[in-house]
Structures are given as C-alpha cells and as structure tokens.
Structure 1
Amino acid sequence: MNSLKLIFSKGVYFGPALVFATLNVIYGTWAIYIPRIKANLGIDEGQLGLAIFYMALGTLSMILLAPKFIGRFGVGKVTASGVFLFLFSFLIPFSAGSYFWLCFGMYIVGAFSGLTDVAMNALVSEIEKRDSVHIMSANHGFFSLGGFLGAGIGGLFLPADLMPLNHLIIVIAVLFILNILFVRTYIQTVSIKLDGVPFKLEHCKPLVLLAIMAFFIMASEGAIVDWSALYLKNISLAKASWIGLGFTIFSATMAFGRFLGDGISSQFGSKVLILVGLILSMIGFVFVLLVQPLITIFGFGLVGLGLSVIIPELFRLGAKTPHIDSSVSISFISGIGFFGFLVGPVLLGFLAEISSLKLSFLALLIFILISFMAALTLKRT
C-alpha cells in the first residue's frame, strides 16, 4: 500500500493515476449501457461485435503513431491531449442514431483510447525512472477502480431510466473538471532518451512474448467489459438489478489486487506473481462457465483478482529490456495489449453469433491457459 500512499501524497503522482481512472470510468459507463444501446439500434451480437471491431481498428492505427507523437511533443502533453479527446469521443457512439454512426464513433473512440493508453503507461514509466518510485501497479489499480465507479455508480441510475447520453454528459463534465485541475502536474514530462545505443530489431525479441501475453490478458479484460452484462442477462438469466454486478465486482477485485501488487512483486518476483494470478483467473472462468448467477458473479471477481497484477508486471519487465527506451518498450506492449482489449470482445461477438456467449467465455479460459504456458518460460526475476 506504500505506492497508494505515495500517489495520494503528491499531485505529480495523482495526476497520471487520475488519467488511468478516467479511461475506465467511461468504459464502465459504456459497459452498463451496451444492452440498451444494442436494443435501441436493433442490432444483434454479431453486429455489436463488428462495431467494437472498428474500435480495435482505431486503436491499431495509433499503435505506430503514438510513440512518434510522444517523441515529438512529450509524453506529458500527449497524455493530456489524449484523455480529453477520449472523453468527448464517446459522445458519438452514445448519441448514434444509426449503425453507421455507432461504427464510426467506435473507431474514433478506439483511436483516442489507444493513444491515451500508450501515453499514460509511458508517462508512469518515466516518472518511476525519474523519481525512483514504484507505482505502476497502483496506477493500474486506479484504472480498475475507475471501472468499478463507472459501472457501480452508473448501475444505480439504470432503474431511474436515465437516458444514456444524459448520464454520459454528467460523467464527462465531472471527469473533465478533475483532469483540468491536475493536468499541470505532469504535462511537461518528457521521455529520457538512451544515448549512444543504436536501435536493432533483435533488441525487440524479448518484448514479443510479453506483448503476446498482454494481448491475451487484455483481450480477456475487454471481453468482460463489453460482454459480462449480456452474459449475466442472456446466459445466467440473472435479475435486472444484478446485470451490472459482474463487471462491478471484476473491477473492484482488480483494483484491490493492483493496489497490493507493487509490494508483493518486490517480495516474490514477477514470474511467481504472474503464474499465481493466471491460476486464479482460470479457476474464476470455470466458475463463470457454471452459469448460476451468484457463482458467475463470484467467478468474475476471482478473474479480476487474478488478472489484476499481470499487466503491470509485464510493463515492469518490458521497461527493463536492454538497449530500448522504456517508453518505446511500454508503448509496444501496451499498444498490442490494448489492441487485444478491443479485439477480444469482437472475437466473442462472432463466437456468440455462431454458437453462444458460453462458447465465447470458454475461449477466454483458453486465452488464460495459453498465457500460463507462456509465463512458465519467463525468468524468475
């Protein structure tokens, strides 16, 4: 919990954490309104999956561009610009009156969310290096906390039948004001460059395995964001007041695990922490597949706890890659990982169209199993 205390002690550490939280507050708000937006537009699971695929395309378009923007304008300025553009981009899909505008809005959302994700992770890496602090996992804890707040608080408004767009505007206004207050604490941060080390493609080889794992893990996270509510509604047949609980509990346990992750990592090492997390996640997905509503919700919580520590540890390992700037390595891993965050739900949508959402969540269990086998090859420290 020392990293959490550090973040609350200074604005320079809280500002980036607020950016992490902001992204997932919006995604949490999106998650609870997906069934209503889907019904309003009269689209099926396959069409929803295709719309989300456009969001993945938007992210892919930023994977190569984000490091260039960071190098030219500075990681602090790109983070600040990205989070504000992301906030307002979600107005498009929420106000979409047709399927075309939903897909267009998803592409714009994907572009700005991908830019912000790469930049904010690179920003925290630079702050860790500059100040010799250990706060990456805790920042990801704020990301999870944002999802808990977005879905949890937002779920309270569902019975009141508040229009999705009106709800979103309120959320955007609050987050805009908060970010304006803290943006000055990090906006001037720039990346520290490595001098005298020529770039070679072979230097990236250690990053490939980390990026593959990040893809599968964040694909699983993204799938729960976009499909957990529909799974509880259509597969578990949960009561209406429980539909948002899957993502809410998932986000809460993710936040809890990540706030503890920095201390556990320093004691046991990254490999042990990643393997234990993957085992917990596999058990959680087994519970989800048992379908019974309470057991499924508990399963989502266990998956969240298991996945919570993995992505921060992959970033921590990536930042230690020899001969490569930490901002570049983290941009690579977070870019591929965030692409998985968006393309995972697309895959689930097509599987749900072919068979059912239960098959889709079985695929997620296989994702975690593949990641576990890959993690066995990591060095212990």
Structure 2
Amino acid sequence: MSILSALRLSRAPVAAFMAVGLTWGCIAAMAPVLKARIGVDDASFGLLLLGTAIGLSTTLYIAPRWDRRMGRWALPAGTVILAAASMLPAVAYTVPLFFVILMILGATSGLTDVVMNARVSEIETRTSRSLMNVNHAMFSVAYAVSALLTGAMREAGWGPGAIFPAIAMLVLATAPFQMMQVAVRDVGNGPVPRLPLGLVALCGAIVLIGFMAEATVESWSALHIERTLLGGAAEGAFGPAMLGLTMAVGRFSGQAVAARLSEIGVIRIATALAVAGVLIAAAAPTPFVAYIGFGLMGLGISVIGPMGLALAGRLSLPSQRTAVIARVAVIGFIGFFIAPALMGIGAQTFGLRWAFACVAILLAAIWPLSRLVREGPIRR
C-alpha cells in the first residue's frame, strides 16, 4: 500500500499525530529559552521535566473513559484542549509555575496520544493494513516543522509570548480534520476479561526504550549544540529538527522494510543504527557532525515505538484495545519524560557528551530484550 493511500485511510488520526508533533517540536526548540528564563541548572531542569510524566500518568485512567464517553468527538475535543494548553509555557516565569504547566501539557497531550493510537489500531484491524508507522511518521514531520519554525521565529526576534500562541493556532487548525466514525464496542454481559498483563509489559518495555532514547535527543540536542558546540539558535533548533526529519524517513519506509524482514530483525538493525548515531553525536566536534549522529539515531529509533504499539493493538480484544494501548503508551511515555530528567542529572554530573553516550547503553538493552520477545509468550 502506498504512503498516500495509507495517509488517506487514516487521515483523522494523522491530523491528531500532527497536532501532538507541533506541540512538542516547539517546546523542544524553546528548551534553551525556557531553561534560561526560570534560571535553573541542568539537573534541576531535567527533574522539572518529570512534571510532564506526572500529568501523563493520569492518562492511564482518563483516556479509556474519555474515549468511551466522547466517541467520535474524543480526538477533536482533546486537540482543542491541547491547543489551549500549548500556549501556557509563554507565561512560565517561575519554577513552580513551569512544573504545573508541564503537568497540564502531559495530561492533555497524553489524552490525545492514547486515543489517536487506538484509532489507528482500530483502522488496522478493520482493514488488515499496516498504518502505525505512517501515522508516527507524520508526528515526526510535524515535530520537525514546528522545531524549524520555532527556531526561525527565535532568530527573527520573537519571544515566547508570540511563539507559543502561533504554534497553538496551528495545533487548533488540525482539530476539524480529526472526526471519524468509531466502531461500537460490544463489552458483552459476562465477566470482564482480565487485561493481558504480559502483553502490556512486553510491548511497554519495547516502547519505553525507544521513547526514552528519542526523548533525550528531543529535550537536550538543542542545548548540546548551542552550549557544548557553540552553535546559534537556529543551529540548535536544527538538532531536534534533524531527529524529526530522519525519524519521518525511517517511519515512512518502515512498512516496506518490515514486509521483507521480521519485526525482530528490523528492531535489531534499527538499534545498531541508533547506537552508532548517538555515539557520533556525543563525540561530535561541530554541529554538522552532531547532525549526522542525530540523523542516524532518528533512522534507528523511528520504528521501535510504533511497532510496539501496533503489536499491542493487534493482539488485544476489540473491547480492550484502548485500555491496553493506554497502558503500553503510558509505560512508554513516562519513560519519554523520565529520560530527560536522568539526562539532566547526567549532564550536571558528567557533562552532556558523557550523558549522551549513556543513551547508547540504554539502547543496547533492546538486543537481549528482542531475544526474549522472540522466545517468550506475549499474548498473556
């Protein structure tokens, strides 16, 4: 199936993926500004990012209920709320306020994120077609565009009070395109089946590592380029943008590659690329070399998270799909925000170069995990 055909088939969740990508691309590119404005060191800034994980943890309970209650309105309504929340960093002048704003962003972003992944899984089940990689690719495209646009606005002299509302308007513009019919879920009259905790744990671990590695680059690449490598604002913004662009390429091509190789084989090759990329970025003498490293890393980690989420949705009962994906996504996305905090502590203690090198060790853990995936039961 062509990329355009896949995008047409899943156009409603695609718009939601773009909304979330626009939000976090802007925040990543604005990280140096936000950090300087509240006046904290690396370790403190990393710990503050845990506020997003705290907000995200509420998604575990709220998202399945929100999905059942709102039905076809769950995605567009969630995006409207996300657009409003994405303007809040413009007024984050103090540490406590910044922490609260991150919690709100985590909760609102996570709500949309769980529902949009569930919608993709529902369409995949109905059509017997692979769509998860294409949808996540559009997140990466939107993330990169947002990071580049934010960098351009910073270079033009725009402040947070203008940049965040501008991106929020783009997020809001995606909401009308997110309406779609939702299948009626027959929960039956018998006892509620137990959630497949083994499936949740396995897929959650896959998504966790992929998103933790991705998050370190998204949150700290701009600082690494601007501070360690003495790049300018636009050069710093191009760090997360390079990650987003190469992740988009990796995800667009992920479906074709997966058709020729096993999922485990693809994940192992992708892990090797990511490990090489992050080590190059850690040792880079110039921003250009760092871009090469971030690009290789983006190609590598691009397919790990989508494959984990797709596997969880495909092996779940229809009545449990949103709940299973919510749990897998929360496991993964909590790691997405724990990783920058750990990165901040590492940067404060050892420096950004060594902190990035430690990400390679994290990624290497996927190899033994992939062996367990191949040999162990995953359905229950």
**Counterpart for residue 237 of structure 1:** 230
Tell me if the contact between 2:218 and 2:240 (Cα under 8 Å) persists in the aligned partners: yes
CA distance in 1, matches of 2:24, 2:317: 35
Tell me if the contact between 2:211 and 2:333 (Cα under 8 Å) persists in the aligned partners: yes
**Counterpart for residue 60 of structure 2:** 63
**Counterpart for residue 322 of structure 2:** 327
Q: Is the counterpart of residue 353 in structure 1 residue 374 in structure 2?
A: no
Q: So what's the TM-score if we normalise by structure 1?
A: 0.91
1:29-85 CA deviation, whole Å, 9 max, x = no partner?
A: 1111111122122222222222211111100122232223223333x4322222221
RMSD between aligned residues: 2.1
Structure 1 pair 319–194 and aligned structure 2 pair: CA distance change class (3 A): farther
**Range that drifts further, 155-164 or 353-362:** 353-362
**Range that drifts further, 256-265 or 62-71:** 62-71
CA distance in 1, matches of 2:51, 2:184: 31
CA distance in 2, matches of 1:64, 1:129: 24
Instruction: State which of 326, 333, 336 in structure 2 corresponds to 1:338.
Output: 333
Instruction: State which of 22, 33, 46 in structure 1 corresponds to 2:30.
Output: 33
CA distance in 1, matches of 2:238, 2:363: 22
Instruction: State which of 159, 163, 171 in structure 1 corresponds to 2:159.
Output: 163
Tell me if the contact between 2:280 and 2:289 (Cα under 8 Å) persists in the aligned partners: yes
Shift of 1:322: 5.7
Q: Is the counterpart of residue 16 in structure 1 residue 10 in structure 2?
A: no
**Counterpart for residue 151 of structure 1:** 147
Alignment gaps of 5+ in structure 1 = none
Instruction: State which of 200, 218, 228 in structure 2 corresponds to 1:207.
Output: 200
Tell me if the contact between 1:141 and 1:259 (Cα under 8 Å) persists in the aligned partners: yes
Alignment gaps of 5+ in structure 2 = none
Q: How many residues align?
A: 373
Tell me if the contact between 1:3 and 1:138 (Cα under 8 Å) persists in the aligned partners: no
Q: So what's the TM-score if we normalise by structure 2?
A: 0.91
1:331-368 CA deviation, whole Å, 9 max, x = no partner?
A: 22112111111111111112222332223212211110
Q: Is the counterpart of residue 45 in structure 1 residue 51 in structure 2?
A: no
CA distance in 1, matches of 2:197, 2:44: 37
CA distance in 2, matches of 1:121, 1:88: 21
The residue correspondences of 1:232-271 to structure 2 (distance < 5 A) are: 232-271=225-264
Give percent identity, aligned residues only.
Answer: 26
Structure 1 pair 189–3 and aligned structure 2 pair: CA distance change class (3 A): farther
Structure 1 pair 239–73 and aligned structure 2 pair: CA distance change class (3 A): closer
Shift of 1:279: 0.9
1:124-153 CA deviation, whole Å, 9 max, x = no partner?
A: 111221233321110000010011101122
Aligned amino acid, residue 322 of structure 2: S
Shift of 1:323: 5.3
The residue correspondences of 1:57-136 to structure 2 (distance < 5 A) are: 57-74=54-71, 76-136=72-132
CA distance in 2, matches of 1:93, 1:332: 27
**Counterpart for residue 314 of structure 1:** 308
Structure 1 pair 193–360 and aligned structure 2 pair: CA distance change class (3 A): farther
Aligned amino acid, residue 56 of structure 1: A
1:139-196 CA deviation, whole Å, 9 max, x = no partner?
A: 000010011101122222222111122122122213312322x133x2x424644656
CA distance in 2, matches of 1:191, 1:151: 38
**Counterpart for residue 364 of structure 1:** 359
Aligned amino acid, residue 356 of structure 1: G
CA distance in 1, matches of 2:7, 2:203: 30
Structure 1 pair 269–191 and aligned structure 2 pair: CA distance change class (3 A): farther
Tell me if the contact between 2:283 and 2:353 (Cα under 8 Å) persists in the aligned partners: no
